[in-house]
Amino acid sequence: MDGARKLWDISPPIRVGIPVWPGDTAYQEARTWTLDDNCPVNVSRFTMSSHTGSHADAPFHYDPDGSTAGKMDLARYIGPCRVIDGRRHGGLVSAAMIEPFLDPGVERVLVRTYDRAPVDRWDDRFAAIDAAAIALLAARNVVLIGVDTPSLDPQESKSIEAHQMVRRHGLAILEGLILDDVPSGDYELIAPPLKLMTLDSAPVRAVLRSLP
């Protein structure tokens, strides 16, 4: 019966020109081997930031003693989740905004902030998540927060208060999702990070699946 369940691909396309955090590594790719009369295969190489596209922040990203991407608990990234529409945020998604949607048993929360996520340009005024909202999620036993922005915190933040609240409570983070075509409601999240053992973050191919 799983074949009848609808899938939503909530990852942006990884391609040359994908927007990246200002000053971070631009995505690049090149052909290493080319299929022709002398070679039976195409093989490529690519260079990218660990925070390109949809990705899972490891605790090491914001905590010098935190665990790295290859050691993160996969169970956090697979299971029931709730998509919340946070587009009426005024630049900051607050605890009061998300509280009405936190029914008992909600374990993972994805917050939509864009009508259409800017996959072809960098938006330096993306919405942020209030640290108090992170504390509320933790108090309600939520284990993962996901957003359709490059970061939980504003671009110019040096204190990264939302990330530090995540560190305090041990939540998992997904950033860079595309929730444009996903109605608010409940889904199964499937977004395991790559097993990059020593890195501060790892790319994910994030997918939502309709519940049975």
Q: Which of 51, 55, 61, 89 is catalytic?
A: 61
Beta strands (DSSP E) in the chain are 7-9, 28-33, 43-47, 55-57, 78-85, 92-93, 108-112, 128-129, 144-147, 172-175, 185-190, 201-203, 207-209
Is residue 169 among the annotated active site residues?
no
Identify whether the C-beta of residue 176 lies closer than 8 Å to the C-beta of residue 53: yes
Per this entry, what is the length of the chain? 212
Sheet containing 78-85: order of strands: 7-9, 207-209, 185-190, 78-85, 108-112, 144-147, 172-175, 55-57, 201-203
Q: Looking at the annotation, which residues are catalytic?
A: 61
